[in-house]
Amino acid sequence: MKKTVWMLLFAAGAALASCSEEELDPQSIFDVSSPERTSFDTWLYMNYTVPYNIQFNYKYIDRESDNTYNLVPADIEKAEVMAKVTKYLWIDSYTELLGSEFMMTYCPRMIQLIGSKAYNSQGSVVLGTAEGGQKITLYNVNELDIKNLSISFLNYWFFKTMHHEFAHILHQTKNYSTDFNLISTDYQGPSWLNLEDDAQANRMGYVTRYASYAPDEDFVEIISNYVTNPDGYWDAVLTTAGASGAPKLKAKMAIVRLWLAESWGIDIDKLRDIVQRRSDEVLKLDFDAI
């Protein structure tokens, strides 16, 4: 038995010695090289990734796209404009009001641009989507006219969506009062598409047609529409709403206003003023600086 053990040990030692004489390939099987970055990639890294840990995807990535839609990539020139405008109008607006740590903590970790529109089976157009507070996808980037930027176009397709989805992230982190859910009792669900227009929704006590879908959508639609529209917008909505809808809208806004202030230290009027000022300034940005 002892002889057998010694023979096994000798064989193992010989095998190790033999292996040690072989030269290992110094080339790793893993790609450890730094990715090549264009000047735009570097700008994204310094303005999104470093300060906020946000991955800004402008290239079409299958696993990050909804393959139930027929989609195309965003044009690079339009993606560059969108990246700069998104930071200036959305991220920098909250940062100006609350400081960079707020956005670094609560902002989604990925923004994905898609060049084309996304159509639902019932014919409605998807303005944007959010996934678990981690990713926001923006569609229709290729219809952006970078030579004649329009704030109304930017707000309709992109920034109402950004504020809408970000408000979802915030209320999923700190929920609003359930009293909000009791103000309206006629939420439409998918039938919101059957409402004639926003004016009809106003008279029912909703800020937009889509706000009538469900309480959570109602809540964030108030925030996104209020901050992306100038002073006077809300009064006009209340006037359209009339005696039937205005009391509901006022009650909802009171809850929204209190929740933003107490949960997040956000004065919705100050946030709107910042967003509106930056909306006026964004058309003067130098988009060739990237």
CA 146 – CA 219 distance, rounded (Å): 32
Residue corresponding to tokens 């209320």: 171
CA 190 – CA 154 distance, rounded (Å): 26
What is the set of domains in the chain, with CATH numbers?
A: 39-289 (3.40.390.70)
The pTM assigned to this predicted structure is 0.81
Residues 245 and 205: beta-carbon distance below 8 Å: yes
Amino acid identity of residue 243, one-letter, is A
Question: pLDDT digit of tens for each residue in the chain (290 aa)?
Answer: 444 444 444 444 444 444 545 555 555 554 445 567 789 999 999 999 999 999 999 986 655 555 565 677 889 999 999 999 999 999 999 999 999 999 999 999 999 998 877 666 666 666 666 666 688 888 899 999 988 888 999 998 899 989 998 999 999 999 999 999 999 999 999 999 999 999 999 999 999 999 999 999 999 999 999 999 999 999 999 999 999 999 999 999 999 999 999 999 999 999 999 999 999 998 888 777 66
Residue 19: φ, ψ to 5°: -65, -35
